[in-house]
Each structure stands twice: as structure tokens, then as C-alpha cells.
Amino acid sequence: MTLWLAALLFFSTQPSAPSPAAAVDSMTAFLPVQPSSETTRERALWMSTIAFTVCFAVWTIFSIIGIRIKQELGLNETQFGLLVGTPILTGSLARLILGIWTGRYGGRVVFTFTMLAAAAATFFLAHAATYAQMLFAALGVGLAGGSFAVGVAYVSRFFPAERQGTALGIFGAGNVGAAVTNFLAPFVLLAWGWQAVAQVWAGALAVTAVVFWFCTSDDPAFRLRQTGRTDQKSFWLELAPLKNLQVWRFGLYYFFVFGGFVALALWLPRYLTGVYGFGVATAGMIGAAYSIPATVFRAYGGILSDRIGARTVMYATFTVSAVATLILSLPVTDCVVRGMEGPISFHFEIGPIAFIAVIGVLGFFMSLGSAAVYKHIPVYYPDSVGAVGGLVGMIGGLGGFILPIAFGALNDLTGLWTSCFMLLFILVTAALAWMHLAIRQTERQGAGPAPAPNHAYDYVAQ
């Protein structure tokens, strides 16, 4: 599909020589050669979080410079949408390959390579003169979004199961990089032009890659393979867990909690201007106010998943989200009923203050759910975190690409601004029902109740 992904696929399929220690149990691949010190763990976590923040800032760069590019090239709406959406799409698709590659070659190498490749593409973007060249550059810029799968596989291997939720929640808070771009890029653009934004962001990403390389160490699983104590799994064995229905169910969860969150962050300014008549600046500030706290609370979602169980957090997320999207899906309504003493008129609408309050609650629980989904993966698939995490991340990223398009199509088809929340209500209801049915089936197969919510392995095995 793209030259930027072709190299990743080539390396991920290369055969590797078997290790003489083939009899070692696969679970030992995730035990460090020597217990990782707390300093090593914390450095890996915080450097990965910083790196992901910079990557996310680069990944969303077109949200600012795309407007100026559209004006300079005279792009129509379709061309503009393709340009802005290309990094989101390719970044999502790259997550699967990058996740598998991380499992094979180690997160330190793959993370560094991904940042350098994305930095090169971003720098090329600054010198692109035609629409075709910009689309080609956008393919490479999208690799920055694929870094999420790399970080999940890398960070999770430094922490025991009871701390992985917190660690991955902190790492996932790097989504705040989108807010960094929204706040800082306009100043650079107005002062020196959109090309300067691309150059500065490319330089920041390249510097981050170098710092990351020298300030981190290889993950414990990779170090074990380097010493010959475990085998390198084949490429197809890496993909084996993807045939499990459970993995795709996790993908549906992430499609809503992450994809829906990204879609709303992109859609809210348009919604607020269309429904409530806010100015662009006001709508943009409200959109930023929605995205920043909800992103930061993802770390809190990881802590909660460790303390009370990811299942409990997911139940709360889906239940509250279903109620919130149901409320927000109600359109402005005027009706007249025949009363005993004549017609009685009723008027219903959600005012701007109420809307902002409800959408804030929805964003908060989406952020908790995003962390809870990734708490499941290292426990159920400890030897395939890269592949499974990459697929789930890919599905979630595709949600951020597909849902805004669906929102616009529903507006055209129904003529209702609230139709976007109707779609989200259907999605979250389906996810809640599927999760609940899977839990009940697991309980029946086990001939007993599911584990207690505060158990470290409180997950659905179906």
C-alpha cells in the first residue's frame, strides 16, 4: 500500500535462526535477565511517554498546517479531507506491523527507527511543492502515530501485571501531543509559515529519537533473546492470536473509547459552531478543553484498572457513555399535545452549558476505558503484546478516521446534528452487550462466578 510500510513488512518477515534454548517456557520471555531496577523501569516509562507525546504532536500536524495548505493549493473539500486523513489512516495501519516488529527486534530499536523515519518524512513535507508530494510525505508522517503500538509492547515488559495498567495509562497520556500542536503550531505558522512548523516538528522528533536511544535500555524480553535463553518466534506465530474472537472484541472496545474520542475532538468545533453558533475561536478552545483533561485522565484509568480491575472500569465506561450519548442524541424537539383546556406546547433542547457538561463526562469515561482496554492485553497475551496491541490500536485509530466521515454522512442523510451521537450510542450499546454476554458465557463455562473485581487477573477469557 505504501513505500513507508513496505520496509517494515519486509523486515518483519525475515526468518531468524532458532535458539538452542527452545525448551524454555515461552512465559520466561517476559522475565528480565536480571530484575529491572526501578530506575530503569521509570526511565523507560517516562522517556516513552515523552517520545509518544512528540510523535502524537507530529501525527496531528495537519490539523493546523492543513488549513494553510488548502488555501495555497486551492484544494477542494475532498482533497483536503484526504490530505488531513492520510496520516491518521496510515498511522493506524502501521500499528500492527510496528507492534509485531517490536516483539521481534525490541522496542528501543523500533521506537527510535520509527521516530527518525517520521522525522524525515515531516522534513520532506516542508519542501513538498505539489499535492502528490504532500500526500506521499503524509504517508511517512503517519508512522508517528504507529509509535503507540511500539510503546505499549516496550513499556509493558518492564512492569509486572499488577502495575501494567498504571504504566500503560501514563504512557497513553502522550495523546496530549495533539493539544501541543493545536496550541503552539499556530504561533510558528503565523511567524514563519507552515513550512517552518514542519521543520521545527521534524527537528524536535529527531532530537527526541536520539535522546530516547541514549537514555533507555533494551526491554527484558529482548535481552533474554540476545542471551540465547529463548527462541525467536516466527512471523506467523506472532500473528496466531489475531484469530481469537476476543482480540477483535477488544478492538471494538477501542474503536469506541479511543476512535470515538479522537473523532469527537475533531468534530466538536464544527458541531458547536453549527448548533450553538459559537465562533471558531471559542469552539476551538472548548474542543481543546475537552481533549486535554480527558487525555490526562487516561493515566488515572490505568491506576483504577490496577486497583479495581479493568472489567469494572469497562462496565462503568460503557454504562455512563451509553447514558451520555443517549442524552446528546436527542434532537431539538417541539411538540403539541391536546390538553383538557386546549393545545399544550412542549419544547426540548440541550443548552450549551448542559452540552459541555455532558460531553466532558463522556470524554472522561472514554479516557478511563482507553486505559482499561490495554490493561487486558499484556495479561491475556503476554507473548504477543506487540501483535495484539498493534491490531487493537489499529482498529482504534481507524475509528478516528472513519467516524468523522460517518458523522458528516449522517448529517447529510438525516439533517440532524445529533445523528453523530446516535451512531456513538449504537456503538457503545453493542460493545456493552457483547462484553456482558462474553462474561456470562465465561461464568457458565467455569461453573461459577467470575473472579472478584479487584483481582489482578480480572478479565474475560472468552
> H/E element holding 212?
helix 194-215
The string of pLDDT tens digits covering residues 176-198 is 887 788 778 888 888 899 999 99
Q: CB–CB of 123/202 below 8 Å?
A: yes
Residues 232/18, Cβ–Cβ less than 8 Å: yes
Q: Is residue 30 part of a domain?
A: no
Considering only CA atoms, give the Rg of the chain.
23
Owner of C-alpha cell 491518521: 88
Are residues 386 and 247 part of one domain? yes
pLDDT (0 to 100) of residue 230: 53
Task: Give the cell for residue 133.
Answer: 508530494
| Nearest to 128, CA basis, from 181, 78, 189, 65 | 65
pTM above 0.75, yes or no: no
Residue 184: give the domain boundaries.
Answer: 37-232
Taking residue 136's Cβ as centre, other Cβ atoms within 10 Å add up to 18
Q: For the chain, how far is it from start to end, CA to CA, in angstroms?
A: 33
Grid cell for residue 422:
446516535
Nearest Cα neighbor of 437 from 301, 246, 256, 299 is 246
63 and 82 both lie in a single domain: yes
Q: What's the pLDDT score for residue 383? A: 67
283 and 354 share one domain = yes
- Set of cell numbers at residue 127: 519542501
Residue 146's domain is classified under what CATH number? 1.20.1250.20
Residue 118 and residue 187 share a domain? yes
In a domain, 15, yes or no: no
- Residue at 102 is within a domain: yes
398 and 452 housed in the same domain: yes
Are residues 253 and 108 located together in one domain of the fold?
Answer: no
pLDDT tens, position by position, 248-272: 888 899 999 988 988 887 778 778 8
Confidence at residue 77, expressed as pLDDT on a 0 to 100 scale: 63
Domain boundary among 170, 202, 232: 232
Q: Cell 510525505, residue? A: 137
Say whether both 254 and 106 belong to one domain.
no
On whether both 249 and 394 belong to a single domain, the answer is yes
Residue pair 175/60 in contact (Cβ under 8 Å)? The answer is no
Q: Assess contact for 36 and 158: CB atoms under 8 A.
A: yes
Pair 211, 246 in one domain = no
Domain membership of residue 169 (yes or no) is yes
Largest CA distance in the chain: 91
Point out the domain boundary residue: 232, 254, 279. Answer: 232
What is the pLDDT at residue 300? 83
Do 369 and 313 contact (CB within 8 A), yes or no? yes
Domain count, the chain: 2
Q: What is the pLDDT of residue 4?
A: 44
- pLDDT < 50 regions, the chain: 1-35, 447-462
Domain ends where: 202, 232, 262?
232
Reference 448, options 439, 459, 457, 456; nearest CA is: 439
Same domain membership, residue 249 and residue 200: no
Are residues 150 and 279 located together in one domain of the fold? Answer: no
Of 204, 175, 174, which is closest to residue 188 (Cα–Cα)?
A: 204
Q: Indicate the SS3 state at residue 19.
A: coil
